Amino acid sequence: MVKELVLNKCNPLQTEIITRNGREAFILKILPNGIIKARISNTIYHYTPDGRYSSFFVSEFDLINAPKKEEINTVWVNIHEENVYVNYEIAGKKVYVGYAYTSEQLADQACINTRIMGDRVACVEITYKKGDGI
C-alpha cells in the first residue's frame, strides 16, 4: 500500500513532511486548486493535492508525512535520607524521593523552600520516553 500525505487540518503549512526517499521538505503554499508548492533543498516543486509528484506513477519524490519524533523528557528528582515523600527500597536500603522537577535549579529551590536541603543525599537526573516502564 502506498503511503499518503495527510496535512495538518489546523495549519497545513506546518505539516512535517519528507519525500519517499527521506529528504526533508517544507510546504511553502497550497494553491486554490489544491496544488502544493514545496521546497526540497533549494528547489521548489509542485505536487498534486495528495502529495504526488506525478499523478501517473509513485515516485521517490512524492511527499509523505515525516515519522513522529520520540519525545525525550528529562526531570530531576531529589533523594532524601528521611521520610519526605515516597519510600522505596533499593538494594536493601530505604530511600525517599520527592517530586520530579523540570530543572536541577527547581529541584534545589524546592529543597531550600521546604527546609529539607540538609536531608537530601542526591539530585538525580532521569531521562525517559513516554511509555517507558509501562
pLDDT at 2: 57
pLDDT at 80: 75
Quick one: DSSP state of residue 15?
-
Residues 61 and 94 in one domain: no
pLDDT at 109: 83
Residues 81 and 61 in one domain: no
For residue 27, the enclosing domain spans 12-65
Residues 99 and 58 in one domain: no
SS3 127: strand
Residue 85 forms part of a structural domain: yes
Last residue of a domain, one of 65, 89, 105: 65
Residues 61 and 88 in one domain: no
Residues 77 and 60 in one domain: no
pLDDT in tens, 78-112: 887 765 555 566 667 666 666 788 888 888 887 77
- CA dist 101 and 107 (Å) reads 6
Residues 79 and 103 in one domain: yes
pLDDT at 132: 74
Residue 2 forms part of a structural domain: no
C-alpha cell at 118: 540538609
Mean pLDDT, the chain, integer: 82
pLDDT at 32: 93
pLDDT at 131: 73
- CA dist 108 and 3 (Å) reads 48
Residues 82 and 112 in one domain: yes
Quick one: DSSP state of residue 80?
E
C-alpha cell at 12: 497545513
Q: What is the mean pLDDT of residues 19-24?
A: 92
Residues 51 and 82 in one domain: no
- CA dist 73 and 24 (Å) reads 25
SS3 94: strand
Total domains in the fold of the chain: 2
Residue 26 forms part of a structural domain: yes
Residues 77 and 125 in one domain: yes
